[in-house]
Amino acid sequence: MIRELDGKAPVVHPTAFISEASYLVGDVVVGANSSFWPGSVARADYGAIRVGTNTNIQDNCVLHTDDLLEIGNNVVVAHGAVIHGAKVGNNVLIGVNAVLLEGSEVGNNCVIGAGAVVLQHTKIPDKSVVVGVPGKIKPMKPETYESISYWASNYSLNAKKFKKQGLGTNYRDIA
């Protein structure tokens, strides 16, 4: 479901897939070949949410912000993750049920492990892995980077299949 709030409606690239069971409201922009899966929420009632290209927001994720939330290109936001007012670089994997708190920044080519919590205003450098609560920063192995690209591409292909079969929000209904 895509809804306008206070005169601001989500802007969704025509190649993006938005599940009819997801909810986007307010000042949200979704880039080319990106996808929002069932139960995902992008609520831009206080600030803006920007999602890059070839990025997938999987089932039951929550995106919310008091200011600006930015997610780069080729990003995987896995099931149940919560991102609140953070900035996420390119080629990043946010693991299942991970949490990014207000003002945190994740660099390029990073993995935030399943269940990890990135505390407020924490800066994660490029090519890092974060695990634990609170998240501890570790260096990334080169082979890990390749798996991020695989999952980002895999979800884009799956989104095309769903969209082709009519299983998404009808963008023509957006005023």
In angstroms, rounded to a whole number, what is the distance separating the alpha carbons of residues 57 and 94? 10
Q: Alpha helices of the chain — where are they, by DSSP H?
A: 142-164
- Residue among 34, 44, 66, 22 at smallest CA distance from 159: 34
Question: Which residue's entry shows tokens 């207000």?
Answer: 102
| Chain mean pLDDT for the chain | 93
CATH assignment of the domain containing 110: 2.160.10.10
Residue-level pLDDT at 163? 85
pLDDT tens readout for residues 127-175? 999 999 999 999 888 777 777 878 788 888 888 899 888 888 765 444 3
| Range(s) of the domain holding residue 39 | 2-165
Residue 173 lies in a domain: no
Q: What is the pTM of this model?
A: 0.93
User: What pLDDT, on a 0 to 100 scale, did the predictor assign at position 175?
Assistant: 36
Cα 39 to Cα 103: distance, rounded to the nearest angstrom:
24
In a domain, 107, yes or no: yes
Within the chain, what is the greatest distance between any pair of CA atoms?
A: 46
Mean pLDDT lowest among 23-27, 61-65, 164-168: 164-168
Domain count for the chain, please give it.
Answer: 1
Whole-number percent of the chain with pLDDT over 70: 97
Q: Give the containing element (helix H, strand E) for 70.
A: strand 68-71
